[in-house]
Amino acid sequence: MGGDMARVGARGGYLVGNTDAELESLNEAYAGPWGNVAPTLPAISGGLKPRNLAGNLDMFGTEVFYLAGTGITKHPDGIAGGVQAMRLAAEAWRKGIPTEDYAQHHKLLAQGLTY
């Protein structure tokens, strides 16, 4: 028994009440030991987009499930542009480069910071 995943709001997303303390608490609770119940995989969603991806990666790390719906589909170049913008935002985070700085040399990422 146990859920496969449980939703945790995105840091900087649109869900009400997503303070850093609340998000960290939910993440720990979902991933932590539950006795005989299998832990769930925290799913970070609710306003995840290229602009706030780095902050979420800083808070939650890489052992969670990231879900970006409108953070991809609202990109000016469509879904393909949105996917690439999210990839570039993740690449910037892995390289330790601020997203806005990385966007200066990557048009699709720069466009992805406009919504």
Q: What is the pLDDT of residues 100-111, one digit of tens each?
A: 999 999 999 999
Q: Is 17 left (phi over 0), alpha (psi -120 to 50) or beta?
A: left
Q: What is the pLDDT of residues 31-77, one digit of tens each?
A: 777 788 777 788 999 999 999 999 999 999 998 899 999 999 999 99
Domain with 57, as residue range(s), is 5-112
Q: Compute the distance between CA of residue 59 and CA of residue 43 in angstroms, rounded to an integer.
A: 13
The structure's pTM equals 0.86
CATH classification at residue 72? 3.20.20.110
Give me the number of domains the chain comprises.
1
Q: What is the pLDDT of residue 25?
A: 87
